[in-house]
Structure 1
Amino acid sequence: MSCLALAAIACVGVAFWITRNVQADVSTIQGRLKDLEVDLNQPRRGSVSSAELDGILSGIDVLGVSLQQKIETERQLIEQLHHKERLAALGQVAAGVAHELRNPLATIRLRAQMSLRSKDPEQLDQSAKLTLEEIDRLSGVLDRLLYFAKPIQLQVKRFDPAQMCEDLLAALRPEAESASIELVCNDSDSADLFGDALKLRQVMENLVRNAMESFEGTRDLQKRILVSITSTPTNVRITVKDNGAGLPNNISAKAFDPFFTTKARGTGLGLSIANEMVRAHQGTLTLKSAPGGGTVADLLLPRFAEHPREPIASERSGASV
């Protein structure tokens, strides 16, 4: 019996020793995993007693190195992608600038050549006027390009969007009436919001002017633009709806791209700038075709934007796409 007791005690002792070593080895492996969670480059601390567990620990080390390499490769790929995106954006801007500057410069050159060849005072006067118009056009393009040079600085205060709508339509009504366009503002469900009233008025003016220009070339049509304002406890929605030519789907997807325009003398910057102003207010601006014809511009703004964004800049009014 004494021999059996000693054997049992020995077995218990061996089991305890093995368990203790295994627990220590497992703790070492767990510690290594925690180190890798913090830093994949963390050197190994401690060792294990068995070759099998040491193989596991070595495998973890190899996995850490492999993950570090993959992360570095992914970082480089992301940087390359961002670089290509920046180059593509720069190329788009350069192409747009070149296009917008080439036509006025060609006109100015032509008129200058005509002035050198002609001594007719009337023709010289006409060439001078056209040259000045093209110079003003170039100046307008450069002014709009400056919108992208610095962040928008919002002057946030509480204001009534319904009053903004009424004032804007009153200012545009003589021009609209000369083109037989009816301007209507439905603001019965309006509520105050916090934002930059001047910049949001610039956005609204851009949308209304675009709607007015959508009637060019249309006949036998009762031209009407409806500006509606609705509100909830958290948002204000402003829609500008016209019954003009409408907006094809392939154009609505590009409408906010810089330098994209369907107008013969448009710069393609107005809607892009307007969209950035709306985003600075943490809002959204969308364009879509209206049921039955025409276009709907939908502007959704939070009534209480806590942290306005600061995308591209715009300190001037009257930018029209």
Structure 2
Amino acid sequence: MPRLRDPVIVAAYLALYMTADMAAAAHLFADLLAHPWNAAPAISFAIAVRHGRKWLWFAFVAPLLAGLIDGGFLAAPLSAILRAAAETAGAALGVILLHPRNSALVCSLKRRRGVFRFLTAACAASALTSIILAIPPFLETNSIEPATLLFLFHLVAILSIAPLVLVYDKSWRHVRFQALLTGEIILQTGALALIAWEVFGRFVNEEIHFFYLLFLPFAWIATRHGQIGAALALGAIYVAPVLTDLLFGHNDTMIVEMQIRLGVLAVTSLLFGAMTAERRDAEMRMLERQTELAHFQRLNVGWEMASALAHELNQPLTAAMNLTQAALRLLKTPSPDIERAANVMSMSVDRVERVGQIIHGLRDFMRKGELTLAANAMSDMADDAIRLVSAEANAAGVAILSSGMSALPEVMADKTQIVQVLINLLRNAIQSLTLSKTPHPQITVAGRIDIDMIEISVADSGPGMPNEVMDHLFEPFVTTKVAGMGLGLSISKSILEAHEGRLWAENAPTGGAIFRFTLPLAKRDLENA
């Protein structure tokens, strides 16, 4: 038996079971002592599969309690016990198939394999339950048709109701109602409700109705919200014919057709939801791999810049040492000039701070981290990138200019990764200008606002790029360098796409190559735009 620490789950289960049983009682199908829209056995199946075989006791007790409430147990106790045994047997078979050796649940509806395993268990449980319920004296006839109909009714109920129990997560308790009131969710709910009314309300008993229109909102919901959306939609769409049957009454022939179509809709939606979950997992794994690859590339670039930075750091450190010695000499004189010594020491501190900025920038650049979007000043990221490549640019005699960057608003970006993109573009331009031996080599970094995006350009004064190189520029392992790996631009493109931006290149009409990329504005700047 479940422990008393689960009273809320027990109470909720029994309440749902009684509600479903009473709602289904409005329609008794032909000669069957069963109801076509009875979701109660499906709830027992789902709760037992979700929580394990200890809950099978409740799967047996719940039908008996329902029989006591509606009087069925007193009128026909043997039939009531047989019904309870049949539902319990179906739930037990589901537990055996989905909880092998009493282990954890092996059915994950977020995988197609898990969906097929769930479908197998649902079919087996429905078959066992229907076979038990089809034997005399429970039914007035022992033909195969009643057993087939019972199988259909139980299977469709399990496929429509059980996923909602299986995908439920404790995190749902913390979802705010306001978060659900997005335009897309409201449109999806409205479309589903409108089509459900047309299908199950206005035209349910007509020869021609619009059931297959339900596949449109279901595909939309499942592909956008995954298995959670599919499960919620399936639960809602199963309740719809129950309500309209109470209001208008459905003929038996149309009920069978609707049950078959609901089964097809349920299988399709669950597979859509599983494929959406698998795709998102694959995207997350790809993003993790791209993050790792970007980190390795930053390490590689950092080591390549280390020798040039060592020379660059030597100059301010030497200057700081000389200035400090000069200040000491001023202080050791018979009449020390305190003010002048302080000015010299201040100049020395400036040199040391410059060294610290370079070292901290290099350390942050090479640090490993996940993609973290935040509001960042584009000018600060450009300054960091220029500072880190300045040693290499000075050694090559390349001037780097910045134009209009300070006036740009903040962008939503991962600072380290955007600095990496800028460094890749700047180093490519430096190396291109060096190889082409362009006189008076120059690189210009500029930016402008483009509606809700910022566009950054890195232009050089070199000869530009051949068309055959331009066609394959952003493919991995494509490079014109002798020692290059050909990953810098490919990684940069992936980084910007993860930021919902893009990267492209073109040759300037006056000569030289221009690389442009876009980044979205920060939310507060977007509101003021």
- The TM-score normalised by the length of structure 2 is 0.33
Of Structure 1 and Structure 2, the greater helix share is in 2
Of Structure 1 and Structure 2, the greater strand share is in 1
- The TM-score normalised by the length of structure 1 is 0.49
**Higher RCO, Cα 8 Å, sep 6+:** 1
